Amino acid sequence: MQLVLEKRTERSNTIALVSPLVAIGLTIVTMTILFAVLGKNPLLALHAYFIAPLTDSYSLQEIAVKATPLVMIAIGLALCYIANAWNIGAEGQFLIGAVAGSWIAVKTQGTDAGVWVLPAMLVLAAAAGALYALIPAICRVRFGASEILTSLMLVYVADLFLDYLVRGPWRDPNGFNFPTTAEFDSVATVPLLIEGGRLHLGSIIALLVVAAAAILLGRTIKGFEIRVVGAAPRAARFGGFNANQLIILTFAVSGALAGLAGIIEVAGPVGHLQPGISPGYGFTAIIVAFLGRLNPLGIFIAGLFLALTFIGGEQAQIAMKIPLDVTKVFQGILLFYVLACDSFILYRFKLVFPNRQVARGTG
Amino acid sequence: MELVEAIILSVLAASTPLLIAATGELVTERSGVLNLGVEGMMIVGAACGFAGAWLTGSIFIGALFGMVAGTLMSLIFALMALGLAVNQVATGLALTIFGIGLSGLIGAGFVGERITPAAHLAIPGLTEIPLIGRVLFGEDAFVYFSIVLIIGVWWFLYRTRAGLILRACGDNHVSAHALGYPVLRIRTFAVMFGGACAGLAGAYLPLAYTPFFIPGMTAGRGWIALALVVFASWRPGRLVVGAYLFGAVTILQLHAQGWGVGIPSQFMSALPYLATVIVLVLLSRARTGGSTAPAALGTVFVPDR
C-alpha cells in the first residue's frame, strides 16, 4: 500500500479557500508542541502571542504599524511572483529606499526647508528602490543571470552600505558615537494619525497600494498580461506579450514599493537612520505574499496576521522570556504549511496497491 | 614567504565550507532539484555542530551532528518539494527562513562558549617544508575531506551507472521514469546528500574556522554556494576553481582591511557579494546556445501511473 499524489482534473476552490486557515491551525498546533518542548506553558504562550496584542489600543496600533511595510512589500512581491519573476531581495530594496530618502532628511537637517521635504523623500526612496530592483531584473533579462541569486546578494550589499553611512559620513556628531543619524526634523517625519499614538500616515498609503494592486490585477490589461505570462508563458508569447518587459516592470514596481516602505519605516516609527531598521520585513513579506495567496486583499489580511506574530513575539519575550527566534521559526513553519496545503488545490492523495495492480496487469 | 603561505592557508580555510556546501548542492541540482535552502541547512548545521562538539568535546561528533541536522532539514524540503510537489523556489526560501530561526533557538545557549578548534595535521619532516609544507600537510580534516568529496562526486557522476541515472533524472525525468527508474526516490537521496554536505559545511564554521558560534555566522555563504554551482556550469572540476576563487576574494578583502587600505571596511566586505553578481552576469552572458543547467532543474514531477 502506498500513498501517492495525483493531479485533480480541476482545481479545488473549496481547498483554495480553507487552505490558509488549515495552515494557520497546523502552525498553532506545531507551536504548542514547540512551547511545551521549550518548557513554557503552551496556553499562556499562545495567549501572549495571539490574544494579548489584541487587547490594548497601543498594541493594536503597533500591529498596524508593523503590517504597513509587510503589506506594501508583499504587494510588490506578489506582482513579481505572479509573473514568475523571483525577487527575493526586497530587504535590500527596503534598505536602499530608506537610505535614499534619509539623504534628503540628513541634508536638510537644521535648515528652514519647507513641507516639500517629506514628499521628496518618499519619491526619491521609491525611485531608488525601483532602480536597485532593476539591477537583478536587467541582469536576468539582458544576460540571463538568475534573478534569485543576484537580488539576494544585493541585500548584503545594501546592508553594508547603510552600515557605512551611519558609522561614517552621516553619523550624528552628538550621538555618543552610536551608529545612527541625528533624529529627523519634523518636516522630514511621517505624520501621526492620532496625536500621541503610533498609527501614522504610512498605513493609509499601504491601504491605497492594496486598492491600486487589486485594480491593476483585476481590472486592467497590464494585470491580465502579468497573470498570463506567469501562468502560461507559451500562450503569452502567442498573445504577443513581452515577458521580459513585464519582468522589468514587476521588479521596478516591487522595488519602488519596498523602497517606499523603507523610508516610511525610517521617517515614521524609527525617526532616524540606523542599522537594524528592519527585523527582516523583506523576507517576512515573502511569507505574507504566499499566505495571502498573491491576492491583494489576502495579502492585507496576511500582513496583519504576521504583524501580530511580531508584536506577540515581543510580548512573549518580555512576559515569558520566550526567545525572539521563536517568531522566525513560527514564520518558517507557517510558510511550510501554507505551501503544503496549497498543493492540495491542484493535487490529491490516492492510495495505490502496487502488487494488486501488477497482478491485474499481467492477469 | 610566510605571508604568502599564510594567505594560501587562509584562502583554503575560507573556501572549504563553500566547496563542501556547493558539492552537495551540485549533486542535488544534477538530479533536477533546486534546493534554495542551503543557507538554512548550513546555519542549522553550524548550531547543531557546535552543540555536538561542545557537549561531547569531540570535533568528529560535532561534524556528525552538523551532517545529521543538515540531512533532517533537507528531508523537510524533500517531503514538501518531492512528496507534495510544492514549488521548489518557495520551499527553499521557507527552509532558509525556518533554519535561521531554528539555529538561533538551538544556538542561544551556546553563544559565548568556546571549544578547541579542529586539530591540524602534523607530519614530522613534511609539515615543516617551507611554503608548501603546511598547505599540503598541515590542514584540518575538513579541508582534506572536501577534496576527497569533490573527487568522489566527480567519479560518481561520470564513472558510475548510478551517477548516470541520477543525471538522467535531472535532464529528463519523464524519460527516466518511463525507463523504470524511481525518479522521486533518487531525487530524495540527492537532496539528502546535499543536506548532509550543507550541514557539514555549516559545522565547519564553528568547529574549525572560528572556535565559537554566533547567530547568523554563515553570512550568506549558502547563497554563494548556490551561485558557485551556476558558476561551475554544474561540473565538479570547475566547482573547485570557483570555490577557491571565492575564498580568495573573501581573504583578499580581509587582508586589505588589515593593511589599512583607505577604503571603508564595509565596501571591502561587500566584495564577495558583488563578485557573485558580476560573475553570474559574465558567465550567463558567455554561454551562448542554450544553458548548461540540468534540463529538468526546478520543475515539479508527479509520476503518472
**Residue-wise pLDDT tens digits, A195-225:** 878 889 999 999 999 999 999 998 998 889 8
Q: What value does the mean pLDDT take over residues B219-226? A: 92
Kindly report, residue by residue over B231-255, the tens digit of the pLDDT: 888 999 999 999 999 899 888 877 7
CB of B288 within 8 Å of a chain A CB? The answer is no
- pLDDT greater at residue B119 or residue A358: B119
Q: Which of A7, A13, A20, A2 is nearest to A298 (CA)?
A: A20
Range A130-150 average pLDDT? 92
pLDDT at A140 over 60: yes
Residues A329 and B73: their CA atoms lie apart, in Å, by 13
B95 touching A, CB under 8 A? yes
B2-286 CATH fold:
ABC transporter involved in vitamin B12 uptake, BtuC (1.10.3470)
Cα-Cα end-to-end distance for chain B: 65
Tell me if B44 sits within 8 A of B70, measured CB to CB: yes
pLDDT tens, A284-318? 999 999 889 899 999 999 999 999 988 998 888 88
Smallest Cβ distance to B305: which of A152, A325, A352?
Answer: A352
The larger pLDDT score, comparing residue A119 to residue B285, is at: A119
Residues in chain B closer than 8 A to A286 (CB atoms): 90, 93, 97
**What secondary structure, in 3-state letters, does chain B show?**
CHHHHHHHHHHHHHHHHHHHHHHHHHHHHHCCCCCCCHHHHHHHHHHHHHHHHHHHCCHHHHHHHHHHHHHHHHHHHHHHHHHCCCCHHHHHHHHHHHHHHHHHHHHHHHCCCCCCCCCECCCCCCCCCCCCHHHHHCCEHHHHHHHHHHHHHHHHHHHCHHHHHHHHHHHCHHHHHHCCCCHHHHHHHHHHHHHHHHHHHHHHHHHHHCCCCCCCCCCCHHHHHHHHHHHCCCCHHHHHHHHHHHHHHHHHHHHHHHCCCCCCHHHHHCHHHHHHHHHHHHHHHHCCCCCCCCCCCCCCCCCCC
- The answer to whether the CB atoms of A4 and B303 lie below 8 A apart is yes
**Comparing A10 with A131, which gets the higher pLDDT?**
A131
* Number of CB atoms found within 10 A of residue B220's CB: 19
Residue A363 has pLDDT above 50, yes or no: no
Residues B157, A321: Cα–Cα separation, whole Å:
50
Task: Show the cell assigned to B161.
Answer: 551507472
**B305 pLDDT exceeds 80?**
no
Chain B: closest CA distance from residue A328 (Å): 5
Percent of chain B with pLDDT over 90: 56
Give the best-scoring range by mean pLDDT among A187-191, A295-299, B228-232.
A295-299
Give A117-150 as a DSSP string. Answer: HHHHHHHHHHHHHHHHHHHHHHHHHHH---HHHH
Task: Determine the Cα–Cα distance for residues B195 and B67; give it in Å rounded to an integer.
Answer: 7
Say what the pLDDT of residue A315 is: 87
pLDDT at B289: 47
Interface mutation vs chain A, best among B25, B34, B86, B257, most A CBs within 10 Å = B86
> Per the CB < 8 Å rule, is A342 touching B104?
no
Q: What is d(CA B151, CA B161) in angstroms, rounded to the nearest whole number?
A: 16
Task: Mark yes or no for CB contact A145/B277 under 8 Å.
Answer: yes
Look up cell 524533500; give the residue: B78
Is the pLDDT at A251 greater than 50? The verdict is yes
- What value does the mean pLDDT of chain B take? 89
Q: Do A342 and B86 touch (CB under 8 A)?
A: yes
Give the pLDDT confidence score for residue A355 in this predicted structure. 60
Which pLDDT belongs to residue A1?
A: 66
pLDDT band at A354, cuts 50/70/90? low
Report pLDDT digits (tens) over B62-99.
999 999 999 999 999 999 999 999 989 889 989 999 99
pLDDT score for A362:
41
Using alpha carbons, select from A341, A358, A330, A352 the residue that is nearest to residue A27.
A330
User: What are the sequence ranges of the domains in chain B?
Assistant: 2-286
pLDDT of B229: 92
- The full set of domain ranges for chain A reads 64-293
The more confidently predicted of residues B253 and A25 is: A25
Least CB–CB distance from A336: residue in B36, B80, B281: B80
pLDDT bin (cut points 50, 70, 90) of residue A17 is confident
Position with higher pLDDT, A258 vs A44 = A258
How much is the CA Rg of chain A, to the nearest whole Å?
23
Query: Which is nearest to B247 in space by CA: B100, B143, B151, B102?
Result: B143
**CB contacts, 8 Å: A7 with chain B:** 302, 304
B41 and B49 Cβ atoms separated by less than 8 Å: no
- Residues ≥6 apart with Cβ < 8 Å to A197: A57, A58, A61
Which helix (H) or strand (E) element contains residue A350? strand A347-352
Distance CA B90, CA B25 (A): 17
Q: With an 8 Å Cβ cutoff, are B36 and A148 in contact?
A: yes
The burial class, CB within 10 Å (0-12 / 13-18 / 19+), for B148 is exposed
Q: How many CB atoms lie within 10 A of CB B145?
A: 17
Distance of CA A209 to the CA centre of its chain: 13
How far B238 CA lies from chain A's nearest CA (Å)? 18
Residue B288: per-residue pLDDT:
52
Asked if A331 and B226 come within 8 Å (Cβ–Cβ), the reply is no
Contacts of B1 (CB under 8 A, 6+ apart): B130, B131
Please indicate whether, in this complex, the C-beta atoms of A157 and B274 are within 8 angstroms of each other: yes
- % of chain A with per-residue pLDDT over 70: 97
Confidence check: pLDDT of B37 > 90? yes
Query: CA-CA distance, A67 to A310, in Å (whole number)?
Result: 9
For chains A and B, count residue pairs whose Cβ atoms are closer than 8 Å: 152
pLDDT of residue B299: 85
Average pLDDT over residues A38-54: 89
B170 confidence band (pLDDT: 50, 70, 90)? very high
Give every CB contact of residue A123 below 8 A, 6+ residues apart in sequence. Answer: none
For position A112, what pLDDT does the model report?
Answer: 81
The residues that bridge with B193 in the sheet, in sequence order, are none
When pLDDT is averaged across residues A99-105 and rounded to a whole number, the result is 95
Contact B305 A286 (CB under 8 A): no
Residue A357 has pLDDT above 70, yes or no: no
Length of chain A: 363
Q: Under an 8 A CB cutoff, do A326 and B101 touch?
A: yes
Are A270 and A65 in contact, with CB atoms under 8 Å apart? no
User: Which letter, b or e, does each residue of B97-112 get, where b requires 16 or more Cβ atoms within 10 Å of its Cβ?
Assistant: bbbbbbbbbbbeebee
Cell 476552490 belongs to A13
User: What is the percent of chain A with per-residue pLDDT over 90, rounded to a whole number?
Assistant: 50
pLDDT at A215 (0 to 100): 94
Residues of A in contact with B284 (CB under 8 A): 139, 143-146
Q: What ipTM is given for this predicted complex?
A: 0.88
Mean per-residue pLDDT for B139-162?
Answer: 93
> In this model, does residue A338 exceed pLDDT 70?
yes
Q: What's chain A's average pLDDT? A: 89
The pLDDT of residue A99 is above 80: yes
CB proximity B178 to A under 8 Å: no
* Eight-state DSSP code of residue A7: E
Residue B292 confidence class, pLDDT cut points 50, 70, 90: confident
Amino acid at A232: A
